[in-house]
Amino acid sequence: MNISIYNSFPIHVKKAMGCIVESTEGISYVDTFSGIGVMLLGHSYEPVLESIRNRIQDYMHLSNYFPVEDATSVENILLSATEMKQGGLFYTNSGTEATEAALRIVKKRETCSKKTIIHFSGSFHGRTLGSLSLLRDGFVKERFGPLLPNIQSLEWNNEEAFDKYMNANGQEVLAIFVETIQGSGGIRIISDSMAEKLKHYQKQYNILLVCDEIQSGLGRTGKWFAFQHWGLQPDIVLVGKGLGGGLPLGATIFSEELRYEFLPGDHGSTFAPNPVALAAAKTVLSEIPSCISYIQKMTPWVQEFICTMLGNCIKDFRQKGFMIGIDPIQSAKEMVQIGREYHHVLLNVTYNGTIRLLPPLNTTKEDWSLMITPLQKTLQQCII
């Protein structure tokens, strides 16, 4: 019997294409969050499928005893995109493993007097115990403690609290983990002034800045990585979700300086990087530059479209490219079922009640209309 850890939709899927998920009963649902931000080019994207087929007919898994050409190609693209050309990269199978690898790298720098790791309220960096130590405060975290020591949680976008903490303790801070756009936290975007403070303290106290781009990276916000909107220069960047085109693949990318400290034996993986996922990743990454231009062009239109369609029903709207948070004037949680049952739209709602839109990066105007029209009907039906 399945454990009931997930609150799954009662839908058996026959086929998924683009942003449409078709059930075995022949109902077409519109998917507004593309497998929680994984299907960057939409479901069943033919060039990705083709690269998977081509690779799989030769081999599926070899292990790290064999060099794989695609591993080097994907690494080079990611190092160049993060502007860390002389840096290094460690492959993982998931986002949380990318966070864990970052924690290992950070821990190698720990000393008796410099050991604090900062994260922010609303943050989410994964579910393994190390990553969980960096989770927003709350009951999930409390159930599994004690977690890693020397972790400091600070309030998101509260500059005063940040200044106060850093002025008193900055010398002890080893690393800061940040999602410049908090995904699971409800698409909460870093303020410009908070980003400036991050830059300032990173430099002043020689702090390792770890940018978690697992949800916001790979073109989603109209740049390769969200941190680039604020000109941050991270020491470590985390990537996951859509990298493997729907197959499990993540990466921890680090600066040249750290590259010489992260040594053989410091970490490893049986599966990562899987060659089939790498073949898919190469195709996904080759399409990101055109998706970035497309998203930049589409962003004002999408904003206008959503606000016109949903304006009366929402109290807040936050957007960077195709990463969008919508706060309805009434609880979003009840809307998931109504949307699915009556309007055939699949919605994702974050723990704090934000409807999170993470559509494919190539979503057309017609597809936006397919998503927002049933969402409008759902909101109108729910809001009395």
Ligand X SMILES: Cc1ncc(COP(=O)(O)O)c(C=O)c1O
Q: Interface with ligand X by CB under 6 A: which range of 50-58, 65-73, 212-220, 282-290?
A: 212-220
Q: Does 124 help bind ligand X (rule: CB under 6 A)?
A: yes
Residue 42 CB partners (closer than 8 Å, separation 6+): 17, 18, 19, 34, 360, 362, 363
C-alpha to C-alpha distances, 192 to 134, 159, 182, 349, nearest whole angstrom: 23, 11, 14, 26
Tell me the CA distances in angstroms from 115 to 101, 103, 108, 151, one per residue in order.
Answer: 17, 12, 10, 9
CA-closest candidate to residue 182, choices 370, 334, 356, 365: 356
Which residue from 49, 146, 130 is spatially nearest to 95, judged by alpha carbons?
130
Please identify the residue of the shown chain whose CB is closest to the bound ligand X. Answer: 95
Q: Is 130 in the site for ligand X (CB under 6 A)?
A: no
Separation CA 179–CA 187 (nearest Å):
10
Cβ distance 227 to 68 under 8 Å?
no
Q: Which stretch binds ligand X (CB under 6 A): 56-64, 90-98, 110-118, 165-173?
A: 90-98
What residue has token string 């020397």?
150
* Residue 126 vs 325, nearer CB to ligand X: 126
CB closer to ligand X, 166 vs 176 = 176
Q: What mask, x for binding ligand X by CB under 6 A, covers residues 22 to 61? A: ----------------------------------------
Binding flag, residue 122, ligand X (CB under 6 A): no
Of 92-121, which residues contact ligand X (CB under 6 A)?
94-96, 99
Q: Measured from the CB atom, is 215 or 319 closer to ligand X?
A: 215
- Residue matched to tokens 């197959």: 247
The verdict on 242 binding ligand X (CB under 6 A) reads no
Which one of residues 125, 136, 229, 340 is an interface residue with ligand X (CB under 6 A)? 125
Bridge partners of 116, per DSSP, are 173
Member of 184, 221, 363, 378 binding ligand X (CB under 6 A): 184
Tell me if 221 contacts ligand X by CB under 6 A.
no
Q: Which is nearer to ligand X, 214 or 375 (CB)?
A: 214
List interacting residues with ligand X (CB under 6 A). 94-96, 99, 124-126, 179, 183-184, 212, 214-215, 240
